[in-house]
Structure 1
Amino acid sequence: MERSETRQLVEAAHEAKRLGQRVALATVVRVRGNAYRRAGASMLVREDGAQACMLSGGCLEPEVVESALDVIASGERSLRHYDLSEDTLWSLGIGCGGNVDILVERVTGDDVLEAWLSVLERGESAVLVTPLTGAQGHLLVSSSGPPLGMLTRRGDVALGLMEAATRHARSLLAQAEAYSGAATVSAEEFGEADLFFGVHQQSAKLVLFGAGHDAIPLARLGDEFGYDVHVVDAREAYLTRGRFPAATRHLLAPEEFEDAVTSGALTFDARTSAVVMNHHLARDRETLRVLLTLPAGYVGVLGPRTRFERMLDELRSEGFTPTSEALARTRSPVGLHVGAETPEEVALSVVAELMALRRGYEGGFLSGHAGKIHALPETSSVT
């Protein structure tokens, strides 16, 4: 789930608690063929029938709410299969041609599921492991520290299964962009179990170098799409909360940026994107020099390609030669080629490019594409 959707889910859970309402969590755990949402999409349902977030285009929600009300009342979870092919009731004639499995569980009174909602609220990275077949219970795995909860089979703690599931969960957390999905897990002296790994990663970072007028819509859109936005500019007057209400942090000068990187207050990794947009040739060149030494997953330089190549030539003439790996992560011009002109349009094209690159897509037209739109593996085997 994206951050805006996660916020809705958490806020709905708090509102339910304030009203004294029990809640259930419905999650898409498998997708075969084409469907509206991918695995990991979730919806919260209160016992009065109110819901937050969506699992489809609206065709499945009424049925899932009814199932959730039964689960809230009984405490027994529900795993149901929905065929979305054209001639079935639930497609309502949309003809997607796929099918989904949806798991519904009561959150209220379940310590691990309530802890999972707390993880979502804090924005931490963790994986919720939920058995679909072959075991019971939950396991909440972070990148460090012991897991919370346990997995059992016929009343016995399945230690081997928990160890295999924990290893797989942590391997997902180590990836730059990991996705929720089901996996068949094998463990010695246990056999196999189908487990669902619900992945939540800390927000990716978007660092904007330049606080001009065109940075404002990019910061706003970046926040809406789940980025922690940071702004770097030497002009203190430009770095106001009124101009950048969505920014996570304001770094008033390049020296403060360097101090933050050195101290570890601001880290750069494969999930960090940086956009150079100072509109000042010398400042952009020095910014580029620094960024090409950091492990950012994306470095975008606003402006024409000739300007970018001029900056590289000047850096090389000064004795700085970037590595081929650093240049492979650098893009100029930035954004998708959609004819963007206004600052808002440019922001849209840049965020669309960031999304495509993070998720491994080309960013071209979907028209004429005959394959699965969300072409990611949904099932794997783990030992």
Structure 2
Amino acid sequence: MKEIKNIIRQFDQTPPEEKLALATVVRVEGSSYRRMGARMLVSENGNWVGGISGGCLEGDALKRSRMAILKGKASAITYDTTIDDDHQIGVGLGCNGVIDVLFTPVDRSRADNQIELLKRITGGPRKISKLVKVTRSENSDLLGELLEFTGSESLQILKEEGVNIDELAQAVRSLDKSKNIHLSDELSLFVEVLPPAYHLILLGHQYDLYPLLRQTIELGWDITVVAPENKVSPMEGVNLMTPEVFDSIEFDDYTAVVLMSHSLHTDKENLRKLSKKKPKYIGMLGPRVRSERIWAELAEEGDAIPADLMQNIYAPVGLEIGANTPDEIALSLLAEVKGVFALKQIAHLRDKAQPIHERDEPMTFK
């Protein structure tokens, strides 16, 4: 999502008279540094933002993007790093993969051009969006077309190509991850499932908040800090809210919450509120014994944490990477959030039976 935001920012800052093209990775077979959906916005003067590889293919992509601008037509190219051919771009990179990239000129006269569409999606309500891009077509005017899927009505442009729109809509609706759809030898689509940016809600205001904010901003996630007024220094990209309006915060499947007030009572009351919200991730800063005390007190007060919510609580918070400083703990925490939402098997500190840190035993000389 950060890459998309950077592309939108570059688009808005580019003079209207300067022409642009968008390069998009639409298919990956085998190994590749970037995956499907990676983007690169190129201007006719050679400026670009984003990327389609680790820097290996950008030079050729820059030339092809400027060619798309010059011709005013979309084109597709396959970079095959699995073959031994001196004339093949990408040979010797060691990636051992096949990458299809679509180069599409950006038509500023269209209110629904690719960038304006991305802008509307990222600036609207938090939801999972599905984008349908035509990656192969005998109709040159159709190649590179980008549609936001909202149902059968949003795919009508494909009806003239002999596509059964209702069947296609059903297939797109069923997807939970990005995928290519081959309708015929002449027509292929790339359906990109685009979730909203992760939303990190931090409940606290002590000094260890700031390394976490800086790293989260760098990742391009949405951030909300809930703290008493005037306790947190304003930072660009950070939404500040007071505890009194906590109930107005919207939670979804991409929302993570961290209890980090350093006050046992405050964290306990916040966890009590979160029991009704049931976010997918709740991190509790501090040792396990502290969290266990909070859970026990809530149970004694008649507000025991439901079993299904307990599975979403990570205490101690973070991954076992040997983190000691606030910056390292922030890295450990954010890596855990990413792993949880990506459904990856990772080494959580909450699963560690021993103390987080080794106990310091003094040396004894006899």
User: TM tier, shorter chain?
Assistant: 0.7 to 0.9
- 2:139 equivalent to 1:132: no
Change (3 A) 1:166 1:223: farther
Change (3 A) 1:298 1:219: same
Q: Would you say the 8 A contact 2:323–2:332 is kept in 1?
A: yes
Match of 1:105 in 2: 104
Residue number among 256, 274, 282 corresponding to 2:245 in the alignment: 256
Q: How big is each residue's C-alpha offset from its partner over 1:264-315, in whole Å with a ceiling of 9 and x where there is no partner?
A: xx21121110001111111111111221221311011111112111111111
Q: Would you say the 8 A contact 2:78–2:99 is kept in 1?
A: yes
- 2:291 equivalent to 1:308: yes
Match of 1:236 in 2: 229
Superposition deviation, residue 170 in structure 1: 4.8
Match of 2:44 in 1: 47
Name the structure, 1 or 2, with higher relative contact order (CA <8 Å, separation 6+): 1
Match of 2:362 in 1: none
Superposition deviation, residue 92 in structure 1: 5.2
Q: Would you say the 8 A contact 2:76–2:101 is kept in 1?
A: yes
Paired residues in the alignment total 337
User: Which runs of no fewer than 5 residues in structure 2 stay unpaired?
Assistant: 348-366
**Distance in 1 separating the partners of 2:181 and 2:81:** 22
Match of 1:376 in 2: none
Match of 1:71 in 2: 68
Q: How big is each residue's C-alpha offset from its partner over 1:18-70, in whole Å with a ceiling of 9 and x where there is no partner?
A: 15111111100011111010000011111222221111122211211221222
Match of 1:372 in 2: none
Change (3 A) 1:342 1:236: same
Change (3 A) 1:145 1:207: farther
- 2:334 equivalent to 1:331: no
The residue identity in structure 1 corresponding to 2:136 is: T
**Distance in 2 separating the partners of 1:318 and 1:192:** 66
Say which SS state the counterpart of residue 85 (structure 1) adopts. coil
Q: Would you say the 8 A contact 1:86–1:95 is kept in 2?
A: no
User: Which runs of no fewer than 5 residues in structure 1 stay unpaired?
Assistant: 173-177, 261-265, 365-383
Q: Would you say the 8 A contact 1:86–1:93 is kept in 2?
A: no
Change (3 A) 1:94 1:192: closer
Q: Normalised by the size of structure 2, how large is the TM-score?
A: 0.82
**Distance in 2 separating the partners of 1:42 and 1:338:** 32
1:139-158 aligned at under 5 Å gives the runs 140-141=147-148, 147=154, 150-152=156-158, 156=160
**Distance in 2 separating the partners of 1:325 and 1:192:** 48
Residue number among 304, 310, 317 corresponding to 1:321 in the alignment: 304
Q: Would you say the 8 A contact 2:131–2:148 is kept in 1?
A: yes
Superposition deviation, residue 217 in structure 1: 1.6
Q: Normalised by the size of structure 1, how large is the TM-score?
A: 0.79
**Distance in 1 separating the partners of 2:84 and 2:237:** 45
The residue identity in structure 2 corresponding to 1:251 is: M
Change (3 A) 1:217 1:100: same
Say which SS state the counterpart of residue 134 (structure 2) adopts. strand
1:86-125 aligned at under 5 Å gives the runs 87-88=84-85, 89-91=88-90, 93-108=92-107, 109=109, 111-119=112-120, 122=123, 125=127
Between the two proteins, what is the percent identity of the paired residues?
A: 32
**Distance in 2 separating the partners of 1:94 and 1:117:** 31
Superposition deviation, residue 158 in structure 1: 5.2
The residue identity in structure 1 corresponding to 2:148 is: V
Change (3 A) 1:38 1:129: same
Q: Would you say the 8 A contact 2:80–2:91 is kept in 1?
A: no
In angstroms, what is the RMSD of aligned CA positions?
2.7
Change (3 A) 1:23 1:139: closer
Residue number among 69, 77, 80 corresponding to 2:77 in the alignment: 80
The residue identity in structure 1 corresponding to 2:246 is: F
**Distance in 2 separating the partners of 1:336 and 1:24:** 40
**Distance in 2 separating the partners of 1:146 and 1:289:** 44
Match of 1:341 in 2: 324
Range with greater deviation from structure 2 (32-41 or 119-128): 119-128
Q: Would you say the 8 A contact 1:293–1:326 is kept in 2?
A: no
